[in-house]
Amino acid sequence: MYLTINLLHNNILANFPKFRLQKVLRDLAYFSQYAVVPHHLFRSKFWKIISKAYCAKGLMKNIFLSLLPEVGAEAHCDIPCGIYDPTAAKIAAMTVLRMVLQINELHPPVNFPKILDEHAMKAFANSIMRRIAVKEQHAESCKKELLILWTDFFKPEHLEKAPYLHEMMWKATKLCSVNKQDVSEEHARELITAVDAIAKLFYEVKGVPERYAAYQTITDKVF
């Protein structure tokens, strides 16, 4: 037991310039499963090393932070970044529609179920499943993008201009869920319409309503 303690101790000292506190703590946790370390040995060998590591880590952090310039920033997200745009939500909604259209174009193999062609059935199932997976992914992506706009971009003062804001956002995010649950061209187009309405309001409250036309031109022709 004492030999193991010394080996651990010497290994930590030998690699002290590359010291990683988490690794040492894992080593201690692992070692404690197999032997009871005497209290005075723990404090004399390991505790001092861990304390020195904390001090060194804190000192280096303070030195590094002191060298960085102070920069002021204002935005409406957690980073903050201030970068918002509804285009990603529209492209995701268009992808949902595209997957629905492709799913509706797929048909089981000829003469099914009278004649069971195993290879053809596997190919058909694979085609369906791939498009469902993409539809699910982009419906969730659309919801995420809308929630970012709702919770981070739009502010209380925007409610004065659009008192219907919360209801509009709620219905749009619910449509994302509906499109995950269903394969419906009608629901997919309703989602696109909802995203367009949010985009129109977005550009209006930003003071650049003319950008909405460019947004439509780009996103309406993705396929």
Task: Choose one of 15, 39, 67: the last residue of a domain.
Answer: 67
Answer yes or no: is pLDDT of 7 > 80: no
30 & 63 share domain = yes
pLDDT tens for each residue of 209-218: 999 999 999 9
CA distance 154 to 205: 9
More confident site: 115 or 136:
136
Peptide bond into 80 cis (omega under 30): yes
Answer yes or no: is pLDDT of 40 > 70: no
- Could you count the other beta carbons within 10 Å of the beta carbon of residue 143? 22
Q: Coil, strand or helix: which one is 72?
A: coil
| pLDDT classification of 83: cutoffs 50, 70, 90 | confident
| Structural domain includes residue 81 | no
151 & 118 share domain = yes
Average pLDDT, the chain: 79
153 & 200 share domain = yes
Peptide bond into 209 cis (omega under 30): no
| 105-111 own/partner pairs: CB under 8 Å, 24+ apart | 106/131
pLDDT computed for residue 117 by the predictor:
84
58 & 120 share domain = no
User: Taking residues 58-86, what's their average pLDDT?
Assistant: 63
Print the domain residue range for 49: 2-67
User: Taking residues 122-139, what's their average pLDDT?
Assistant: 96
Helix-helix angle 185-205:165-181, to 10 degrees: 150
- Of 11-20, 73-82, 172-181, the range with the lowest mean pLDDT is 11-20
Helix-helix angle 2-14:48-67, to 10 degrees: 20
101 & 49 share domain = no
CA distance 111 to 117: 9
pLDDT computed for residue 41 by the predictor:
47
Domain count, the chain: 2
Percent of the chain having pLDDT more than 70? 64
pLDDT computed for residue 114 by the predictor:
74
Helix-helix angle 211-219:87-105, to 10 degrees: 30
61 & 93 share domain = no
CA distance 22 to 20: 6
| Residue 130, both tokens | 């791939």
33 & 133 share domain = no
In the block, residue with structure tokens 């394969």:
183
56 & 130 share domain = no
| Residue 22, both tokens | 């988490």
| Structural domain includes residue 124 | yes
57 & 141 share domain = no
Phi-psi region of 82 (alpha: psi -120 to 50; beta: other; left: phi over 0): left
* Terminal CA-CA length for the chain: 70
| Structural domain includes residue 73 | no
| Residue 209, both tokens | 């309503």
| Structural domain includes residue 82 | no
Read off the CATH number of the domain in which 202 is found. 1.20.120.400
CA distance 68 to 194: 44
| Structural domain includes residue 45 | yes
187 & 121 share domain = yes
pLDDT tens for each residue of 181-206: 999 999 999 999 999 999 999 999 99
User: Taking residues 104-114, what's their average pLDDT?
Assistant: 86
- Enter the pTM of the model: 0.64
| Structural domain includes residue 95 | yes
